[in-house]
Copies of this chain bind each other. A is one copy, B any other.
Amino acid sequence: MLLQSDLPLNPSSDDIVGSLRRAILAHRVAPGSKLVEDEVSDVFGVGRSIARTALQALAHEGLVTIIRNRGAFVADPGVREAREVFEARALLEPRTARSAAERATPAAVKLLHKHIAAEHQALQAGDLGKAVYLSGLYHMAIADLADQATIAAMISTLVARSSLIVALYWRRPQALCESHVHHALTDAIAAHDGARAEDLMKGHLVDLLANLDLREKLQIGGSLCDILRQA
């Protein structure tokens, strides 16, 4: 389990949450992976209590699934959940993008450009996982601009879950992605054009969902005999 080790010597559970979250969102640990408490506590050099607390926090975010007596696993969202997450984003983010556009300062716009640049760089370096992660940060940055902490927090967890969903269902291995949309969105925000920002965001979310392959992963029912037949 690869973890960037820019951590204090006695990390708090929040530090561990952050580190694990980055690892999950950048797809450095596969969905469904087991997260053993002893391993986590060893890696971070803390007792099991703290590791446990961190895993429970991630479970509340929906990035980890805890099954009683079985342990913690990196979340493995199904197609149903994938659709639901984007439904929720569709309700929250377009309006939020509008507010962001109405309030954006030059400094904020500069920050958005920085996010886009970093994402672009990761893409060119071939690190798709990191690019997806950074793309999420861009959406969160917009949410922060709207100055609605409660909504921003909800968007934040939805975006995080989306990152996991993209890892599982993204159709095109290396399409040129959506950096154009992010550019256009940033322009609308810089121009304080709320209506356009709202529309762009709405379309962007539709595009994202459309680029997922949401056929059932494995329909265990009828295909089992087929699998046996092939073998």
Contact = CB atoms under 8 A, between A and B. Distances in A.
Interface of A: 49, 53, 56-57, 60, 81, 84-85, 87-88, 91-92, 95, 148-151, 154, 158
A49 B49 CA distance: 9
5 contacts: A60-B60, A81-B150, A87-B150, A88-B154, A91-B95
A84 B154 CA distance: 12
B88 A150 contact: yes
A148 B85 CA distance: 9
A148 B88 contact: yes
Instruction: Give 6 nearest A-B pairs by CB, closest first.
Output: A84-B150, A60-B60, A88-B151, A88-B150, A84-B148, A91-B91
Contact of A149 (B49, B60, B84, B158): B84
B84 A151 contact: yes
A85 B153 CA distance: 11
Contacts of A95: 91
A148 B158 CA distance: 14
A20 to B, nearest CB: 16
A163 B103 CA distance: 30
Contacts of A85: 150
Nearest to A81: B150
Contacts of A84: 148-151
